[in-house]
Amino acid sequence: MSFELLTNWGEELPDLLAGLQVAVVVTFWSLLFGIPLGLILAVMVSAKSRVAYITALILVEVGRGTPALVLVQFVYYGLPSTGLTLGSVLSSVAALAWNTGAYTSEIIRAGLGSVPAGQREAAVAIGLSPLDALRYVIVPQGLRVSIPALMGFSILVFQSTSLCFTIALPELLSQAYGLGSQNFRYLEVLMLAGLLYAAICVPSGMLVKELERRIGHYAT
């Protein structure tokens, strides 16, 4: 690696780190809203109410079946025609939270379904209402099983923030393209951006594997 390349990277790194910070913030808020939405949708899909079931099913299928890029474009460019205009940050969070909620609803639903029937029967036997059984017995155990998969999906959400450069969100990829257009060293800038993505994703992936191993060990 040449000294000139390291010098160029030193000049570009502050702007790319600023973009990385934006990507992390958008990921945080998308998960903060998206995972609870996924829990709500998981419960609604399993509900006896047909209205709740159909509503949740539509939100889940549209959120999962539509590419995240299309959702981002829809929220940012489509909603203003209805009178609702959101900035690039809010549009990114709204779109990715919807996508997160749709996907994590299936992860959480599988986790809730893994709770042994004996636990459900015990909740009924001690007089818990269906809502209390859900709150105190089923959801805590189901979420514990779902944690590794939710963490793995969180990495994908972080990577998906790169799609938001299409709506002028100043995240990492957007900053990389901006720097590349100034100095025409796209390869160098994108290599550095890729290393920054990897610096987040690789350790996170290792953490998820270790967590899966520990949960599997405790389960046995």
Q: What is the Cα–Cα distance from 200 to 155, expressed in whole angstroms?
A: 8
pLDDT at 216: 65
pLDDT in tens, the chain (220 residues): 444 444 555 677 888 999 999 999 999 999 999 999 999 999 998 888 899 999 999 999 999 999 999 999 999 999 999 999 999 999 999 999 999 999 999 999 999 888 888 888 888 888 888 888 888 888 888 888 899 899 999 999 999 999 999 998 999 999 988 888 887 788 888 889 999 999 999 999 999 888 878 776 555 5
Closest CA relative to residue 144, chosen from 108, 97, 118, 101: 108
Report the 3 state secondary structure along the chain.
CCHHHHHHHHHHHHHHHHHHHHHHHHHHHHHHHHHHHHHHHHHHHCCCCHHHHHHHHHHHHHHHHCCHHHHHHHHHHHHHHHCCCCCHHHHHHHHHHHHHHHHHHHHHHHHHHCCCHHHHHHHHHCCCCHHHHHHHHHHHHHHHHHHHHHHHHHHHHHHHHHHHHHHCCCCHHHHHHHHHHHHCCHHHHHHHHHHHHHHHHHHHHHHHHHHHHHHHHHHC
Q: What is the pTM of this model?
A: 0.88
Joined tokens for residue 147: 């944690």
Residue for token pair 């986790």: 111
Q: Which domains does the chain have, with CATH numbers?
A: 3-219 (1.10.3720.10)
Q: Looking at residue 7, what is its pLDDT?
A: 56
pLDDT of amino acid 1: 47
Find how far residue 31's CA is from the centre of its chain.
5
Q: Give the C-alpha separation, 167 to 105, whole Å.
A: 27
